[in-house]
Structure 1
Amino acid sequence: MFPIIFRNRKTKQHHRDVANSFLRIGRLLQQGYPLEAAIIFMEPHVTVQTSSQFSYVLNLLKEGHPVYEAFQSIDIPTSIKALLYFYHYQGDIAEGFLHAGTLLRYREKIFGELNKLIRYPVALLFFCLVVFVLMYQFVLPHFQSYFSTMSESPSVITSIFLSFLNHLPYLFGGGILVLTLTCFYIIYQSNQLTHYEKIIRLLSLPILKRYVKLIITYFFSLQLGKLMTAGMSLQQALKQFELQNYLPFLQQESVQISHELHQGNSFKEIVRSKQYLKEELAFVIDNGQKTGYLGSDLEQYSDILFSELEETIQRLLHLIQPILFFVIGGFVFLLFLITMLPLFQMLGGV
């Protein structure tokens, strides 16, 4: 979440620029423009950073590099670059730009909505922390001074809250330290794992399992279906997955799937055995192989998955803000108790 919150304005603007440029380039290509002419047409309408990257792309194209290789220098997520690779081999690069632009724009839209949702709760949380600091510096010493000069001692509940406030800086510092060390440990452990092991670890987390399977199945079925619709056999389509290096996990898994196919296993049963793919994909493959429309069925299924993914993301976004407000509400209530309980006891002793 935090990398999303603290993405700088320049990066967000660049991604929006590239998304809009890809969409316009795709439309220009569909109208018959050469790719170089479409890029040159877009250069005056983008930021300096995007324009300089497009100039570098033009130089690579003039040297004879494939489209997907030339655009590898653009500063965007590799999952978006992968679309240009697959659509290049499907023979429809215009559609590739349109799809890449659409997904990148959707990605930026989701990040923007998430920023808006958490901006106000985070500001409230910061305000509560400031109030806690002020209470620790000014209110707590007065309470301690009062109870030390009075013959009666504070009640058990009041003592607990005062002790909590007194030790809060140490608890907060310890929490930050534990959180930092945990993050470093997770990053270190992640770097030691293969791409397959990383996905399996994510699948072992109940809260993430459904979303990980949904995303992997969507991308796999979409690109496999389009490659087969373009005229490739199943083995040829899997070979394209093997040759790309944008998505290392699918690259490794396509090698394994091809190996299992050569051993005589059916594609349907292989897919059914993969725990990172949704169970429905095996049914789609079985039906597609029986009717002879496997490529088309996979494309249609990917459209269904994308709609499901959109609905899931929207539900998550709608849950985030209420959860944050509930946490902050509990924080404010704790502040109230810490302040009012000693006051009530002081008033009762007057």
Structure 2
Amino acid sequence: MKKRASKAWSKKEQAEFLSKLAQLIQAGYTLVEALTMVNIQLSKKQQQRLTPGIQWLLEGEPFYVVLERLHFQREAVAILCFSEKHGSLARALEQSARFLEKKIMQVDTFKRMLRYPIFLMFTVFVVLIIVQQMIVPQFSLLYSSMNTSMSWLIQGMFGLFQFLHALLLMIGCICICLFGYYELFFKKKSTLEKLKVISRLPVVFKGVQLMHTYLFSLQLSGLLQAGLSIYESLQAFKQQTYLPFLQEMSEQMIGELRKGESMEHQISRSPFFERHFAAVIKHGEASGMLAREMYTYSQFLLENAELKIEKWVSWLQPVIYGLTAFLILIVYLSILLPMYQLMEQV
């Protein structure tokens, strides 16, 4: 069921669906009327999925529960879950649609920029293996039969082939070990424990840290604007199950708040948030505009994420091209140089 549903609603279609709903609700439609209007424009397969969803809504199910049953992205479901608290459905729909659009754009950027370099590098590695397994042994046999010693350059290149082959085997073993660790140990850890493990990978952790700070600040700002206190907002985070980080972090923060420790101090000590986040909270509390400050900061984080992805891709692509060019040169020389040396011997 889940597999069929995910095929019926791609991330792009989910974003378009939520965006259309937001436009209709802003135009004065009720949620059921908006869903009925959008349902007319969907494919037959999607209509078969959404029609029962409209019925569930009429029977009293919350909208975010309907989307959960339709297997929408959990971040979008979580944003709409919080809209039950702050009451701004149209805004939550816009936020969830925008989040999915940015997520799609970032993934597409990676795929578009790295698809060809990775394919090229894979092809070169296949050629390297073929050369190492078939051509190099033939040259070695030929040198032996002619009682001719290889030059130091050719010996070095043939040794490099053996090193690359051993390196590929080592990488394969490491991948198998990592997969085993993930299945046997990592999956069983809590979200915060997983983050402590991921923190050993600075580049990956920085991206996860940014995303969590963005979701935390964005959703907390919405709840605060609706009139909830910080404590009540954290309780709302704790009660939802769609974003495990917010759930576990809020539970921890609630305990510290009861001990009298401010949220600003907790954020400043936590390794899971952006380092400027505590200063934003302090400034917002001092000005009495904490909700506004957190929303503005969340938008800065979203823009910052886009810039960082572009920077990483622009750095990674030439590195892959350069490495690929080097390997192609090694393959080319490993074939030509032995031939030239043997021709000189003849």
Structure 1-normalised TM-score? 0.88
Letter in 2 for 1:278: E
Give the residue type in structure 1 aligned to 2:113.
L
2:338 and 2:188 map into 1 onto residues whose CA distance is 52
Provide the residue aligned with 1:182 in structure 2: 178
Q: Deviations over 1:136-173 (max 9, x none)?
A: 56533542342122122223442343355478767645
Q: Residue 102 of structure 1 aligns with which residue? A: 98
1:34 aligns with: 30
Partner residue in 1 for 2:253: 257
Question: 1: CA distance between counterparts of 2:218 and 2:153?
Answer: 60
> 1:203–1:212: 8 Å Cα contact kept in structure 2?
no
Identity of aligned residues (%): 25
Of 245-254 and 263-272, the range deviating more from structure 2: 263-272
237-246 vs 336-345, greater mean Cα deviation? 336-345
Task: After superposing the two structures, state which structure 1 stretch, 22-31 or 83-92, moved more.
Answer: 83-92
| C-alpha distance 164-318 of structure 1, shift in aligned 2 (>3 A) | closer
Partners of 1:88 and 1:96 within 8 A in 2: no
Amino acid at match of 1:83: I
The CA distance in 1 between the partners of 2:235 and 2:87, in whole Å, is: 16
d(CA) in 2 for partners of 1:320, 1:46: 39
Shift of 1:14: 1.8
The 3 A distance-change label for structure 1 pair 258 and 336 is same
Give the 5 Å matches for 1:185-224. 185-224=181-220
Quick one: which amino acid aligns to residue 22 of structure 2? Answer: G
| 1:124 is the counterpart of 2:127 | no
Contact 1:143–1:342 (CA under 8 A) maintained in structure 2 = yes
Partner residue of 2:84? 88
Which residue, 243, 268, 292 being the options, matches 1:247?
243
**2: distance between equivalents of 1:171 and 1:213?**
32
Structure 1 pair 276–126 and aligned structure 2 pair: CA distance change class (3 A): closer
Report the aligned-residue RMSD: 2.4
CA apart distance, 1:179: 2.1
Q: Output the amino acid matched with 1:27.
A: Q
Q: Unaligned regions of 5+ residues in structure 1, if any?
A: 1-9
8 A contact 1:26–1:94 mirrored in 2 = yes
In the TM superposition, what is the alpha-carbon distance from 1:36 to its structure 2 partner? 1.7
Partners of 1:150 and 1:242 lie apart in 2 by: 77
The worse-fitting range, judged by mean Cα deviation, of 204-213 and 259-268 is 204-213
Which has the larger displacement, 141-150 or 285-294?
141-150
**Is contact 1:14–1:47 with CA below 8 Å preserved after alignment?**
no
Matched, 1:289 2:296: no
Equivalent residue number for residue 234 of structure 1? 230
- Equivalent in 70, 74, 97 of residue 78 of structure 1: 74
Question: In 2, distance between residues paired with 1:163 and 1:289?
Answer: 64
Deviation at 1:261, TM superposition (A): 1.1
Name the counterpart of 1:307. Answer: 303
Q: Is the 8 A contact 2:157 2:334 kept in 1?
A: yes
Question: 1:225, 1:296 within 8 Å by CA — same for their partners in 2?
Answer: yes
Q: Taking structure 1 as reference, are residues 171 and 212 closer, same or farther at Cα in structure 2, changes over 3 Å only?
A: closer
Does 1:278 find its partner at 2:264?
Answer: no
Q: Secondary structure of the equivalent of 2:77? A: helix
Check the 8 A contact 2:257/2:263 in 1, yes or no: yes
Q: Distance in 2 between matches of 1:142 and 1:176?
A: 27
Q: What CA distance in whole angstroms lies between the structure 1 residues aligned with 2:306 and 2:285?
A: 28
Distance in structure 2 (CA, Å) of the matches to 1:269 and 1:171:
46
AA at the equivalent of 2:198: L
Distance in 1 (CA, whole Å) between partners of 2:173 and 2:8 is 30
Q: Structure 1's 22 and 336: CA in aligned 2 closer, same or farther, altered over 3 A? A: same
Cα-to-partner distance string for 1:191-226 (whole Å, 9 max, x where unaligned): 132111111222232223432322221111111111
SS at structure 1 position matched to 2:82:
helix
Partner of 1:159: 155
CA contact (8 A) 2:224 2:233 kept: yes
Q: Work out the CA distance in 1 between the residues paired with 2:172 and 2:122.
A: 15
Q: 2:111 aligns with which of 115, 120, 127?
A: 115
Match of 2:136 in 1: 140
Measured after TM superposition, the shift of residue 229 of structure 1 is 0.7
Asked if 1 retains the 8 angstrom alpha-carbon contact of 2:9 and 2:72, the reply is no
Shift, 1:286, TM fit: 1.9
Do residues 317 (structure 1) and 305 (structure 2) align? no
